[in-house]
């Protein structure tokens, strides 16, 4: 008998759900990018355009020096690591990258993960038990929310970027052991967490602070040390960074004390039960870290673009968010408005993604403009021209 869960009925139910999503302006699909253009130019879905979507803030993802290191290391090491870290996949290249990352972040140790998503899952599940409390900023990245759920601990959110709200949560917590988790730079809003204030609230309440600086590392602070630069490492005992954004490569890490990293090695299942990243990628990322640390002109150029974009966008009456980082959201409100604006920009040769719920809260759909040191002044100017041409679509709503 063909029941309601026959393969055909299942596909029909999926199709109906997809159709509802499409009607709500929430349907997602990846655009296809082709090679052969110098950053920030891209061939996207067959159209040549200037990219404002990448997290490649320093313009390192297509740096020929790093690509050379990758190619040479691939010649020596081959394409894959062949195994998990504990099963023979941990090479001299992984070890060297971990040492470089520890030194850069001023921590005794760093442990390399395959992705930031996995680093967050691994760190939280290894450290937090069911009887503990996790407090998360309301706008934290999805991987931090998923990681907290996986621990089985009690999870509460506190008001975005608000140390006083965090303090009230901790006071209400009573005796439980607490962990406080925040993005360093918020991925869809671009603002920087008040890490110094959050760290002192954590110190008052003996809470362990975990900062995920996926968008700050390489981009802000002296030598690109990120949102925690200048804060004593003991105040931020668990620091997560990613290597696929400003560093233009792939992978992630958790940095902290010797016992912290040893604990992750014993307990972080997303590190233990997965293939180590390709050694050639580790070699390339190490080169990227050295470039990111030393080439200050990239951060200076980025900062010029940010200032220029914000001043001009404000004078056009665009609804910007309070961000001083390369992530510059233009808030439009409805998902449909964001998609329409993104498509109009795409027609004009500018690739600026629309970000919709559930990635951002309902009613705050936006264009997420991402600036890079790879942009020329003229690229930013062209984007501003196109945004002003969208007229009423982007002027508040």
Ligand X SMILES: *Cc1c(COP(=O)(O)O)cnc(C)c1O
Q: Binding residues for ligand X, per CB under 6 A?
A: 115-117, 120, 141, 143, 183, 187, 212, 214-215, 242, 244, 252
Of 167 and 368, nearer to ligand X (C-beta) is 368
Rounded to the nearest whole angstrom, what is the least distance from the CB of residue 182 to ligand X in the complex?
9
CA–CA gap between residue 40 and residue 178 (Å, rounded): 43
Rounded to the nearest whole angstrom, what is the least distance from the CB of residue 105 to ligand X in the complex?
16
Rounded to the nearest whole angstrom, what is the least distance from the CB of residue 240 to ligand X in the complex?
7
Rounded to the nearest whole angstrom, what is the least distance from the CB of residue 218 to ligand X in the complex?
13
CA 339 to chain CA centroid, Å, is 22
3-state secondary structure of 19: helix
Rounded to the nearest whole angstrom, what is the least distance from the CB of residue 288 to ligand X in the complex?
14
Rounded to the nearest whole angstrom, what is the least distance from the CB of residue 188 to ligand X in the complex?
9
Rounded to the nearest whole angstrom, what is the least distance from the CB of residue 213 to ligand X in the complex?
8
Half-sphere exposure of 323 (CA within 13 A, CB side): 28
- Closest by CA to 267, choosing from 132, 158, 116, 150, is 150
The phi and psi torsions of 354 (rounded to 5 degrees) equal -90, 130
CA–CA gap between residue 115 and residue 92 (Å, rounded): 19
Q: Which residue has the tokens 């604990």?
A: 263
Of 100 and 115, nearer to ligand X (C-beta) is 115
Of 120 and 325, nearer to ligand X (C-beta) is 120
Q: Two tokens at 207?
A: 């809470």
Of 60 and 252, nearer to ligand X (C-beta) is 252
Of 214 and 387, nearer to ligand X (C-beta) is 214
Total H helices, total E strands in the chain: 13, 14
Q: Which residue has the tokens 């954590």?
A: 202
The phi and psi torsions of 320 (rounded to 5 degrees) equal -85, 165
Of 178 and 242, nearer to ligand X (C-beta) is 242
Q: Please, what's the largest Cα pairwise distance for the chain?
A: 69
Rounded to the nearest whole angstrom, what is the least distance from the CB of residue 113 to ligand X in the complex?
8
The phi and psi torsions of 302 (rounded to 5 degrees) equal -60, -45
Strand pairing partners for 44?
33, 47
- Closest by CA to 156, choosing from 174, 138, 129, is 138
Q: Do 139 and 160 contact (CB within 8 A), yes or no? A: yes
Of 90 and 215, nearer to ligand X (C-beta) is 215
- Closest by CA to 26, choosing from 387, 397, 390, 362, is 362
Q: Which residue is nearest to ligand X (CB)?
A: 116
CA–CA gap between residue 287 and residue 100 (Å, rounded): 10
Of 50 and 252, nearer to ligand X (C-beta) is 252
Of 333 and 357, nearer to ligand X (C-beta) is 357
Rounded to the nearest whole angstrom, what is the least distance from the CB of residue 19 to ligand X in the complex?
30
Of 254 and 350, nearer to ligand X (C-beta) is 254
- Closest by CA to 181, choosing from 133, 109, 221, is 133
Distances 326 to 57, 65, 192, 323 between C-alpha atoms, Å:
7, 24, 11, 8
Rounded to the nearest whole angstrom, what is the least distance from the CB of residue 155 to ligand X in the complex?
17
């Amino acid at each position: 008998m063909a029941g309601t869960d026959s393969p055909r009925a299942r596909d029909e139910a999926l199709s109906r759900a997809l159709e509802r999503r499409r009607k709500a302006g929430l349907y997602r699909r990846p655009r296809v990018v082709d090679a052969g253009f110098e950053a920030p130019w891209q061939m996207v879905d067959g159209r040549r355009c200037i990219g404002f979507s990448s997290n490649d803030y320093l313009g390192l993802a297509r740096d020929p020096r790093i690509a050379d290191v990758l190619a040479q290391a691939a010649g020596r090491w081959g394409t894959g690591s062949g195994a998990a870290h504990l099963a023979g996949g941990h090479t001299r290249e992984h070890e060297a990258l971990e040492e470089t990352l520890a030194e850069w972040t001023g921590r005794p140790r760093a442990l390399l993960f395959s992705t930031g998503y996995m680093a967050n899952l691994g760190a939280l599940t290894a450290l937090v038990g069911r009887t503990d409390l996790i407090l998360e900023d309301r706008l934290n990245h999805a991987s931090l929310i998923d990681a907290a759920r996986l621990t089985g601990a009690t999870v509460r959110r506190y008001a975005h970027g608000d140390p006083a709200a965090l303090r009230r949560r901790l006071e209400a917590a009573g005796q439980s052991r607490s962990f406080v988790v925040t993005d360093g730079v918020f991925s869809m809003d671009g603002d920087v967490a008040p890490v110094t204030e959050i760290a002192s609230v954590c110190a008052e309440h003996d809470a362990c602070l975990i900062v995920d600086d996926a968008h700050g590392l390489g981009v802000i602070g002296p030598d690109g040390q990120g949102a925690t630069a200048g804060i004593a490492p003991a105040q931020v005992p668990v620091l997560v960074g990613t290597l696929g954004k400003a560093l233009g490569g792939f992978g992630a890490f958790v940095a902290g004390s010797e016992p912290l990293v040893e604990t992750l090695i014993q307990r972080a299942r997303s590190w233990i039960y997965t293939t180590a990243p390709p050694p050639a990628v580790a070699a390339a990322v190490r080169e990227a870290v050295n470039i990111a640390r030393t080439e200050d002109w990239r951060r200076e150029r980025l900062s010029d673009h940010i200032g220029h974009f914000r001043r001009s966008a404000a004078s056009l009456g665009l609804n910007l968010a309070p961000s001083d980082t390369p992530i510059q959201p233009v808030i439009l409100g409805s998902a449909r408005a964001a998609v329409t604006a993104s498509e109009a920009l795409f027609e004009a040769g500018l690739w600026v993604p629309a970000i919709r719920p559930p990635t951002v809260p309902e009613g705050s759909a936006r264009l997420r403009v991402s600036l890079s040191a790879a942009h020329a002044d003229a690229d930013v100017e062209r984007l501003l021209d196109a945004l002003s041409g969208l007229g009423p679509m982007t002027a508040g709503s």
